[in-house]
């Protein structure tokens, strides 16, 4: 598009293209996916309960009475985030925290009846959203997408937890087989 006399390139709103070096950056694409997922979650699942909160409810349902820290690790939440979520869920009456019988510093988590009903409803709606989001990919395509996303999550967690020089060695020892999307080392 040609610039106007005053130097304005004339781009209007969504007509402005994403810079090409940004459009090919994995972090940018991931942010777009996350924004779209958040918007879909709000309209299809729940405008208040977050995905992380539902994950905590699911973990407590799967492991009733387990200690808060271990549950947080099982759903990949930092301790401070887990504590904040547990506090919110407890205030809503969906979760109970009880002191551990042998170690008073630890907190065991249990769903309330309301929490279990809420979790079941939220999980049902989240699964419906998953089906909608993966529509058209078929079982094999869905498996490929989930495998690739899981591989990315693992790799990015490694990078986040290591120093810059140590993280670069992974790329020379790991490959993705494009025919299967399986990760090899």
What pLDDT digit, counting tens, does each position of 130-146 carry? 999 999 999 999 999 99
Taking residues 111-121, report their average pLDDT: 97
CA 174 and chain centroid, separation: 24
Containing structural domain, residue 155: 137-185
What pLDDT is stored for residue 185 in this prediction?
44
What pLDDT is stored for residue 56 in this prediction?
97
Taking residues 62-84, report their average pLDDT: 93
Q: How many domains does the chain have?
A: 2
Range from 13-17, 53-57, 82-86 carrying the lowest mean pLDDT = 13-17
Residue 12 burial (CB < 10 Å; 0-12/13-18/19+)? exposed
Kindly list the distances between the CA atom of residue 147 and the CA atoms of 10, 54, 94, 181, in Å, as whole numbers in the listed order.
Answer: 42, 22, 32, 7
Taking residues 49-56, report their average pLDDT: 96
Q: Is residue 12 assigned to a domain?
A: no
**pLDDT band, residue 102 (cuts 50/70/90):** confident
Indicate whether 115 and 166 sit together in one domain.
no
Indicate whether 119 and 157 sit together in one domain.
no
First CA to last CA distance, the chain: 47
Q: Has residue 29 got a pLDDT over 70?
A: yes
Indicate whether 69 and 125 sit together in one domain.
yes
């Amino acid at each position: 598009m040609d610039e106007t006399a005053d130097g304005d390139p004339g781009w209007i709103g969504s007509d402005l293209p994403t810079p090409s070096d940004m459009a090919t950056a994995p972090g940018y694409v991931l942010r777009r996916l996350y924004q779209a997922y958040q918007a879909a979650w709000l309209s299809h699942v729940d405008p208040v309960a977050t995905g992380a909160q539902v994950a905590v409810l699911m973990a407590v349902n799967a492991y009733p009475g387990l200690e808060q820290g271990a549950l947080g690790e099982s759903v990949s939440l930092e301790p401070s985030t887990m504590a904040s979520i547990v506090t919110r869920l407890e205030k809503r009456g969906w979760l109970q925290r009880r002191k551990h019988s042998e170690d008073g510093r630890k907190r065991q988590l249990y769903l309330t009846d309301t929490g279990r009903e809420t979790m079941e409803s939220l999980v049902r709606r989240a699964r419906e959203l998953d089906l909608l989001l993966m529509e058209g990919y078929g079982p094999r395509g869905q498996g490929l997408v989930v495998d690739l996303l899981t591989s990315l999550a693992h790799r990015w967690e490694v990078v986040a937890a290591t120093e810059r020089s140590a993280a670069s060695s992974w790329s020379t020892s790991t490959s993705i087989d494009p025919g299967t999307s399986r990760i090899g080392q």
